[in-house]
Every structure is written in C-alpha cells, then in structure tokens.
Structure 1
C-alpha cells in the first residue's frame, strides 16, 4: 500500500472511530435491545449494529472498492484478503458494555493483500486510543510505545487468559493451563480481546492467549503488537487466520516457544 494513501486512510479511519466512540458515550445510558447469537453469553445490542452500520455506510461511500469483514453481518462475505479489507468489531467486549458500561473497545484493522497496514483500538469510555501503522511504531494517545522487554523471566510474566480455559474444555488440557498459571506471576482477564492485545503492546501485560477468536477480535491488535516486537501466532505457532476463527497467542518472542512447547502442544486435546 502506498504510504501517502495509507496516511490518508489512517486519518479517515481514526476520525470515524472517534466519532463512533463519542456517539456510544452519548447514548451509553439510553435503552437498547439485547439479543444472543451463538450462545447465551454471546451478546449483541442495537448499539453494536448501529456502530457497525455507521462504519459500513462511510467506508462504502468513501472507498467503494474496499471490502469489509465485520462481526454483526453487515460486511462482505470474503474467501480471500485480496485488495484492501477493513476488519471491524464495532464493540469488542459487548458483555462489558451491557453489564459494566466500560472495558469495551472499537477495533478497526485495515489489511492490504493480507498484510496488516493499520490497527486502531479505542477504549471508548476511558477515551484512550491505541494505534499503529506498519513499520511506523505503535502509539497510545499519540505517545509512542516502547519495544517489549526482551529479557523477561518466564516466572515473572503477567498473562491475559480467559479463565474458561482453566476449566474442563474440549480444546486444551485444563491441567496444563492450571500449571501454566501457577508457574507465571499472574493472570488477568478483561473481557475484550482488542484491549488485552493493546495492553500487551503497552507492556502492562506480557502476553495474551485465547483458544477461539474471530478475525475482528484481533486484526487491529495484531498490527499494534507487531510494531513493538510482539509475536502473534495460533497455538501451533502458525500465522493467525484473518478469515476464520483461530486460537491466538501474542507475546514476546522469548517466551512464545516455551508456552507452545511446554503447555499448548503437550496439552492439546
């Protein structure tokens, strides 16, 4: 992607993200409908749909040749990432939005021919913007983020991990996951994959692990984490799919292999 066009695209996307965030804040206490999707914990609200529709309308009007992958079904049905693709989660952390009215984010990743060019994650209620453009570093509210610490001791890391994976499940050995949590310094769960990836890039967490996420959960965060030296893969060490659900491991390269070899591969079901 041409750098000048990428800058233009970034500025436009950032403007839309901030506008959408302001609209959510203004309506945070308004009544809205809540529905479920795949299960009782997979929530969607009229605000999710309204926010996604806002992005779809603006992108199609301004860049009709671009494609869109989005959570609530208003985007395109894609089988490749050829061309320029916007990957959007209008509210990442809908359960937090419903129950807490905080700890949720707007996540926008822009990929060109499969390469992540732009990542924007907006913590709406805290008014904190994380963003990155490929090869230009990552930022939090216009302050450049430092590279991840390459000298981490494994026993001192703090990891983002949904505690569901410590319970009996069909994907990984919960006893291995429990051993992992006992070995590291601590684990955290925030209920928003986008924010947790941003926290890894910021350095307030040392990694993030989930066994099943959609592209819109992680597309922006991967771009941002990559710019500070983060390594993102699935639990087999392969690139994360931007077309299907995938496991996701993002961390410093110095601990990635140990996590995969000692806890994930041995613990796979």
Structure 2
C-alpha cells in the first residue's frame, strides 16, 4: 500500500477514535446495561455494543470490501487472513469500565493478507493514543515513540494475568518472582501501552485477536517481541496465551516457561 494512502487511512481512523472516545465519555456516568458472556467475570455492556456498531459502521462506509472482526459480533465471521481485515475491540477491560470507570481501552487494527498495516490502542481516560505501523512508525499522542529500552526481566515490572498467576500456568509465579514485581491491570490495551512506554518489560495473558491485533502491529514495529507463550509465531486469528516483552525479557521468560 502506498504511504500516502496509509497516512490518509491513519488520519481517518484517528478521527473515528476521537469521536468514539467522546461517545463513551458522554455515557460513562449513565446507568449501564450489563450482561455476562462466558462467565460472571466476562462482561458486556450496552456501551460496548453501541461503540462496536459505531466503529463497524464507519469501517463499512470507508472500506466496504473489507472483512471486520469485532469482539461483540457486529462484524463478520472471519476465517481467512486474505484481503483486508479490520479488528475492533470497542471496550477492552469491560470489568474495569463497569466497576472503576477507568483503565480501559479502545483498539482498532488493519491487516492485509495477514500483514499488519496500522494499529491503534487508546487509553480512554488517560487520553493516550498509541498509533502507527511498520511503514510510518509508532506514535504516542502524535509524537514519535522513543526507542524502547531492551530491559531484562530482572530489571523491570511485568504485567501478568491474574488467573494464570493463581494457577501458576507456565511457571507464572517464578516469572513474577524473577521480575521486580508484577502488575495486573485487567486490560490488554492498558498493559500494551505500558510496555510500549517502557513502564513494563512485558505482558503475558490469554488473548483473543481483538485483544492483541492492534498491539501486535505497534509492538513489532517498536522492536518488541510478541509470540505465543512458547515463542512460536502468533497467528492473528488465534486465541492463545500471548507473550509480549522486550527482546531480553522475552528470552528470560521463555527460559522460565520451558523449565
């Protein structure tokens, strides 16, 4: 894709995100309609649904021939990475949204034939938008993202999944102990932003495509590694335990996982 076309898409998507954020903030203090999906900890609200419908509508109008994969099911049934695929997470961290009205994100990704073109992760309350892709670089609120330091696990904080730590999946307790400390934010988007900004050396959780699709593009562009928990290539349509980290921390963690 030509760089001018990418920049035009980038400008357009940022406009959607700012409008989407405004929509969410206008309704954040209203009475929410909250339902459960797979369990009592897996929530969806009327705002999740409204926001996904809004974003899907914008994408349909802008790119009518593309497929759309949305968390709440208002897109398409996507089974192939051929052509253009937009991936949408309208509210990432819905439990945080419901219980705290904070620490949640909106995420959009654009892939073409399996290659990540553009990714967007917006911290709604913190008003941080991480955006970009391999052909234009990564930006934090419009400013070029500084080079992420290649910090080893022992010298940084690590973002982990609470359930994975409680069950010691993949030696999570040892990973936490070998770091300077673990953090559990409850939102993949917030964790991804924290890794990109150098606040965490890594993040591990069970993720679905809408949880990592945008972050994968940004993190790989920034020189970070995002793989399956055992270091294998991450398929954009997969649902699996995901390991995101600096290159040094990634190797440190793989060593612990394999023990």
Q: When the two structures are superposed, what TM-score results if normalisation uses the length of structure 1?
A: 0.92
1:162-201 deviation digits (Å, cap 9, x = unpaired): 22212126xx25xx32122111111111111012111111
Q: What are the ranges of 5 or more consecutive residues in structure 2 without an aligned counterpart?
A: none
- RMSD (Å) for aligned C-alpha atoms: 1.3
CA separation of 1:82/1:260 partners in 2, compared to 1, >3 Å: closer, same or farther?
same
Does the CA-based 8 Å contact 1:136-1:227 persist in structure 2?
Answer: no
Match of 1:238 among 223, 232, 242: 232
Distance in 2 (CA, whole Å) between partners of 1:68 and 1:134 is 21
Is the deviation greater in 57-66 or in 105-114? 57-66
Corresponding position of 2:160: 161
Does the CA-based 8 Å contact 2:152-2:201 persist in structure 1?
Answer: no
Does the CA-based 8 Å contact 2:152-2:248 persist in structure 1?
Answer: no
Q: Secondary structure at the match of 2:4?
A: helix
Aligned residues: 259
Q: Secondary structure at the match of 2:136?
A: coil
Per-residue deviation, 1:244: 2.4
Distance in 2 (CA, whole Å) between partners of 1:251 and 1:135 is 22
Is the aligned partner of 1:252 residue 2:246?
Answer: yes
Match of 2:190 among 192, 195, 214: 195
Match of 2:204 among 181, 192, 209: 209
Q: What are the ranges of 5 or more consecutive residues in structure 1 without an aligned counterpart?
A: none
Q: When the two structures are superposed, what TM-score results if normalisation uses the length of structure 2?
A: 0.96
Is the aligned partner of 1:146 residue 2:152?
Answer: no
Per-residue deviation, 1:265: 2.6
Per-residue deviation, 1:135: 3.3
Does the CA-based 8 Å contact 2:93-2:105 persist in structure 1?
Answer: yes
Q: Secondary structure at the match of 2:50?
A: helix
Per-residue deviation, 1:250: 0.8
Does the CA-based 8 Å contact 1:215-1:245 persist in structure 2?
Answer: yes
Q: Secondary structure at the match of 1:98?
A: helix
Is the deviation greater in 250-259 or in 14-23? 250-259
Distance in 1 (CA, whole Å) between partners of 2:184 and 2:4 is 38
Per-residue deviation, 1:42: 0.3
